[in-house]
């Protein structure tokens, strides 16, 4: 999407990024951190003000000014008429959460940010930066929006994650941690103090952002082919096609299983994943959840096995060398591959 970016108005050393003063929030902190990752704004000065005269002299303005106009580099979302989502600005994307300033900057500059970071990560890990492909950038660009930026957009716009009453409070989100960096009500606060706190917040957001991109690039993306191969070989594991196995390594699989089932037109959904517990020289059988973020499984291990261990579990199941089944039934262990395979197949048998 770098082709969407307006032409340079001046050299990057003279660029000014404007945002509002006072209490800062995760969306503009993230938006400005992203801008400062790309060459055009890398050395830009950040000005925090609500003065229209001061903001008029800025090269780009985020989260203030009541104007969204990409051609003028104005990216506010607070005006009454603003209803933009990622999907409304790019119909190839599915997300319909109202954008904050973070989402707006990500839509127009995000691919350039992701490519810049991926090339840096490759270099820092003694990899060839030129090997970063546009397809890899495209995939991680979508993953970072779905798993980081959309949350920031929703929270800033007051959109609840669920219509249900939460069962517990989550107080450690990125937005909460950024908010906690503002001076307390009974602390001294002035423009200089707030600017230093804002810079600290940018470092916090930047670390989180880099951590996500690094994981997706070096961990998540390489697992794709491993999971794809396991799915393609599923009938070699069991005739049902409902069990897959990673014989050598426990690659991150949840996201990949669900997307690859669609891509490969898997008719009968996968229920169990087998993989080695390398640290303990044993094996695990884990249930596939109904969604990547869900604690509900497509098919849990049998209820009577749950919370039982070792010899007692082997006697109960009739399967040698059992180690455990979790009390919630989402995972179990056995000393051998043959053992976890029998646990998975017996679970299927009991369910049918």
Per-residue pLDDT at 164:
86
Per-residue pLDDT at 352:
86
Q: Is the dihedral of CA 163, 201, 117, 249 positive or negative?
A: negative
Tokens 């303990």, residue located: 280
- Closest to 305 measured CA to CA, from 279, 283, 332: 332
pTM reported for the whole predicted model: 0.84
Per-residue pLDDT at 11:
53
Q: Which two tokens stand for residue 18?
A: 């404007």
Using DSSP, state whether 221 is helix, strand or coil. helix
Beta bridge partners of 274: 245, 285
CB atoms under 10 Å from CB of 160, counted, come to 9
β-strand pairing of 74-75 with 68-69 = antiparallel
Phi, psi of 275 (to 5 degrees): -155, 155
Beta bridge partners of 75: 62, 68
Per-residue pLDDT at 12:
52
Using DSSP, state whether 224 is helix, strand or coil. helix
Each of the 352 residues of the chain gets a pLDDT tens digit; together they read 444 545 444 555 589 999 999 999 999 999 999 999 999 999 999 999 999 999 999 999 999 999 999 999 999 999 999 999 999 999 999 999 999 999 999 999 999 999 999 999 999 999 999 999 999 999 999 999 999 999 999 999 999 988 888 888 889 999 999 999 999 999 999 999 999 999 999 999 999 999 999 999 999 999 998 999 999 999 999 999 999 999 988 888 998 998 899 989 999 999 999 999 988 899 999 999 999 888 999 999 999 999 999 999 999 999 999 999 999 999 999 999 999 999 999 999 999 8
Per-residue pLDDT at 214:
98
Phi, psi of 98 (to 5 degrees): -60, 135
């Amino acid at each position: 999407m770098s082709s969407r970016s307006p032409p340079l108005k001046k050299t990057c050393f003279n660029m000014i990024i404007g945002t509002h003063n006072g209490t800062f929030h995760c969306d503009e902190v993230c938006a400005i951190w992203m801008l400062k990752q790309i060459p055009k704004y890398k050395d830009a000065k950040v000005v925090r003000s609500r003065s229209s005269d001061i903001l008029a002299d800025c090269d780009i303005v985020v989260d203030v000014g009541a104007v969204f106009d990409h051609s003028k580099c104005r990216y506010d979302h607070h005006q009454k008429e603003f209803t933009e989502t990622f999907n409304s600005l790019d119909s190839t994307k599915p997300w319909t959460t109202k954008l904050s300033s973070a989402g707006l900057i990500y839509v127009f500059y995000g691919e350039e940010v992701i490519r810049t970071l991926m090339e840096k990560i490759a270099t820092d890990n003694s990899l060839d930066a030129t090997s970063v492909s546009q397809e890899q950038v495209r995939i991680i660009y979508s993953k970072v929006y779905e798993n980081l930026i959309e949350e920031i957009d929703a929270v800033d716009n007051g959109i609840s994650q669920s219509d249900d009453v939460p069962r517990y409070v989550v107080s450690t989100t990125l937005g909460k941690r950024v908010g906690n960096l503002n001076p307390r009500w009974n602390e001294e606060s002035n423009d200089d103090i707030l600017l230093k706190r804002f810079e600290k917040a940018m470092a916090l957001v930047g670390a989180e952002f880099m951590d996500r991109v690094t994981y997706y690039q070096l961990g998540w993306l390489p697992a794709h082919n491993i999971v794809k191969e396991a799915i393609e070989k599923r009938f070699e594991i069991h005739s049902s096609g409902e069990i897959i196995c990673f014989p050598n390594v426990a690659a991150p699989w949840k996201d990949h299983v669900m997307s690859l089932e669609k891509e490969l037109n898997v008719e009968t959904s996968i229920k169990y994943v087998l993989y080695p517990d390398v640290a303990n020289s044993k094996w695990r059988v884990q249930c596939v959840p109904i969604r990547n973020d869900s604690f509900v499984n497509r098919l849990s291990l049998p209820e009577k096995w749950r919370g039982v261990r070792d010899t007692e579990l082997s006697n109960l199941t009739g399967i040698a060398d059992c180690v455990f089944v979790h009390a919630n039934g989402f995972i179990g262990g056995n000393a051998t591959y043959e053992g976890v395979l029998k646990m998975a197949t017996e679970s299927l048998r009991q369910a049918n």
